[in-house]
Structure 1
Amino acid sequence: MHLAMPARKSSNPPPYATRSTRFPMLRRSRVQAIVLCACAVGAVLFILLQVLGGGSERIPSGTPSVVIVTVLDTESFKQDYINKIKENRIEYAKKHGYATFFPAATNYELNGSPPSWARVPAVRHALTKFPHSTYVWYLDQNSFIMNPDLSVEGHIMNPKRLESLMIKDHSIVPPDSVIKTFGHLKGNQVDLVLTQDKEGLAQGSFIIRKGDWSRFFLDTWFDPLYRSYNFQKADTHALEHIVQWHPTILSKLVLVPQRTMNAYSPKDAAGDGTYKDGDLVIRFAGCEKGGRDCAAEAEPFSKQWKTAFRTQ
């Protein structure tokens, strides 16, 4: 009986059949059409988002362009005087569509630092509270806004106007600091506007533009290290220090003539810094010292600003 033997496999088997990797023409056309349609839809959506404001920050309707911040010392001054200060800011803000913010100095933990430091976290607070506003104007308590016709944007922050006001190549700390203001800044590059008095930087009235730089600046100014230095003039000398040692801060700062937004009463000023009728602000910068009475010094100007506002 013969058993069938399995056929021997050839030592040269035929090559495996290969599968074509080419797309049929019809399939390839469909893929191309789908890709082109997807690109077209994406382009249309992008354009619509840009037109409707999706490509930039959307500012809610009614957002105030400026927030006026004044830190109030409710423990050392009578309520009647505090109310006059608030009324002054509120009336001016109503005229121009601005907002006001009146935190108390005691709202902020200063860890034993002088109360004047409260202005820094107060401005930082305002930037958070009014995230869509363009500017924060900090104005010390012992002062009045005197000219209701002058707006922050038109009188100071308009780029062309600001360029005409800038004090260029000027010593940060008078009379002969080697660190000077920049000479080539354009108005739209400025994020901090300050003035000087006869002693140095005067931070009782300043304007800051919202943004990453402003938050960096305020956080640097309020650094616990600087507050622990016990500078003779607290936050004033700390400000002068960081402006001179941090080019990033100096590069966004300009000085403007003192009377632009920080004129002093005759008791506190000298020369070009003395208040004159028509100026935006009068400040009673030293009235807290030497037994002076801030409310009494301010009273004649309280009547004057109310008369000016009523005639508008």
Structure 2
Amino acid sequence: MHFAYPPRKDSAPPRFVPRSTQFSTLRRRRLKVVAIIGLAIITFLYLISRGSSGQGPPREHVPSGKPPAVIVTVLDESDFRRPYLETVKENRRQYAERHGYAVMFPKIGEYDLKGSPFSWTKVVAMRDAMTKFPDAKFIWFLDQDYFIMNAQATIEEDVMKPTRLESLMIKDHPVVPPDSIIKTFAHLKGQDIDFVLTQDVEGLSVNSFVIRNGEWARFFLEVWFDPIYRTYNFQKAETHALEHIVQWHPTILSRLALIPQNVINAGSTSEKGAQYQPGDMVVRLSNCAKASNTKPCETELEKFTQLWRTAFSGS
């Protein structure tokens, strides 16, 4: 069992804590209590809804694998140049056609985020993909500054296959580096995992991650998008909300696997961790700038464009 904070190891009286710090600590504690209560309510309603239709226990829909996976990329047309975004679409479509995948390109502003920052669009888009493709086995979110480089690698075989996951899973490791006392579970097997992502030098990365389609995934996305987390002033919005969730809710952590960054999250430089090497599945344009800047994404993309087009045109 993990504890959020280690017990006090000495009997010395506590040091004086400024009033503002006390209020900040009290606020965090209240958030944790409210979050736990909120998760309990969502879980209860989830269980009730499953048992309220028809006679006998409900049968969970098992995705047939048609398509095997859906790639979701949210496009920001206000901040990124149109030629660049068209190249992003071309990259996804060529890869998807090769493997029989579906693709979705929702746009910033397409969903009602209830006043939350636009970065939350990824969470709603993933839920939308599950609704539109109920028989897809996996949903892969891939941000718009990533390009798929390996035409042969697939999500179902090279990432989510249980035996493959067994070789990739980083166990008993701090969820939020470098020193979180909450760690990934050491006893989990590949078949236990429904949510796969990586870490970079800043913590959990929500720019490239995979979810196994199913009832648990719906539950998880509803928890993640809960108003409790969207309205709390996290510095990095949905990223820090996720870090909070996986550390405080074993229901989520027990289905999560961290894998090496280079599998689905290598960068064009080593600035944020693992640097792209030939054969890696994707590359992230580490210095990709928005359209208003002098160094657009196309500049950094130049050295990779011919590589992935050549790879995709091969047999």
Q: Name the TM-score class by shorter chain.
A: 0.7 to 0.9
Aligned mate of 1:175, from 178, 183, 188: 178
Contact 1:195 1:202 in 2 (8 A): yes
Q: What TM-score results when the alignment is normalised by the length of structure 1?
A: 0.78
Contact 2:269 2:286 in 1 (8 A): no
For residues 171 and 144 of structure 2, what CA distance do their matches in structure 1 show? 29
Q: Secondary structure at the match of 1:127?
A: helix
How far did 1:227 drift? 1.2
Q: Secondary structure at the match of 1:305?
A: helix
Change (3 A) 1:309 1:174: same
Q: Secondary structure at the match of 1:137?
A: strand
How far did 1:74 drift? 1.5
How far did 1:281 drift? 0.4
For residues 151 and 268 of structure 2, what CA distance do their matches in structure 1 show? 18
Question: What residue number does 1:301 align with?
Answer: 304
Question: What residue number does 1:211 align with?
Answer: 214
Of 92-101 and 289-298, more deviation after overlay is shown by 289-298
Across the two proteins, how many residue pairs are aligned to each other? 255
Change (3 A) 1:118 1:286: farther
How far did 1:299 drift? 2.5
For residues 62 and 196 of structure 2, what CA distance do their matches in structure 1 show? 26
Question: What residue number does 2:25 align with?
Answer: none
For residues 57 and 232 of structure 1, what CA distance do their matches in structure 2 show? 37
Change (3 A) 1:111 1:176: same
Aligned mate of 2:128, from 113, 125, 145: 125
Change (3 A) 1:56 1:220: closer
Q: Secondary structure at the match of 1:68?
A: strand
Q: Which amino acid aligns with 1:279?
A: D
Aligned mate of 1:63, from 61, 66, 76: 66
1:79 aligns with 2:57: no
Q: Which amino acid aligns with 1:255?
A: L
Q: How does 1:93-108 map to 2 (within 5 A)?
A: 93-108=96-111
Q: Secondary structure at the match of 1:153?
A: helix
For residues 59 and 110 of structure 1, what CA distance do their matches in structure 2 show? 28
Contact 2:285 2:300 in 1 (8 A): yes
Contact 1:69 1:136 in 2 (8 A): yes
Aligned-residue CA RMSD in angstroms? 1.9
Deviations 1:15-59 (A, max 9, x none): xxxxxxxxxxxxxxxxxxxxxxxxxxxxxxxxxxxxxxxx88586
Contact 2:63 2:137 in 1 (8 A): no
Q: Secondary structure at the match of 2:159?
A: helix
Q: Which amino acid aligns with 1:277?
A: P
Contact 2:139 2:213 in 1 (8 A): yes
Question: What residue number does 1:187 align with?
Answer: 190
Change (3 A) 1:164 1:72: same
Question: What residue number does 1:11 align with?
Answer: none
Report which structure shows greater RCO (CA 8 Å, sep ≥6): 2
How far did 1:192 drift? 0.1
Of 96-105 and 249-258, more deviation after overlay is shown by 96-105
Change (3 A) 1:192 1:58: closer
How far did 1:287 drift? 2.7
For residues 248 and 302 of structure 2, what CA distance do their matches in structure 1 show? 41
Question: What residue number does 1:233 align with?
Answer: 236
For residues 135 and 313 of structure 2, what CA distance do their matches in structure 1 show? 31
For residues 163 and 59 of structure 1, what CA distance do their matches in structure 2 show? 22
Contact 1:194 1:205 in 2 (8 A): yes
Contact 1:221 1:238 in 2 (8 A): yes
Question: What residue number does 2:284 align with?
Answer: 283
Percent identity (aligned): 55
Q: Which amino acid aligns with 1:231?
A: F
How far did 1:267 drift? 6.0
Q: Which amino acid aligns with 1:138?
A: F
How far did 1:304 drift? 1.5
Deviations 1:55-89 (A, max 9, x none): 885867x8201001001112222221111101101
Q: What TM-score results when the alignment is normalised by the length of structure 2?
A: 0.77
Question: What residue number does 1:152 align with?
Answer: 155
How far did 1:186 drift? 1.1
Of 279-288 and 180-189, more deviation after overlay is shown by 279-288
Q: Which amino acid aligns with 2:89?
A: K
1:111 aligns with 2:114: yes
User: Which segments of 5 or more consecutive residues in structure 1 lack a partner in the other structure?
Assistant: 1-54
Change (3 A) 1:112 1:59: closer
Q: Secondary structure at the match of 1:204?
A: strand
Change (3 A) 1:154 1:280: same
* Larger of the two Rg values belongs to structure: 1
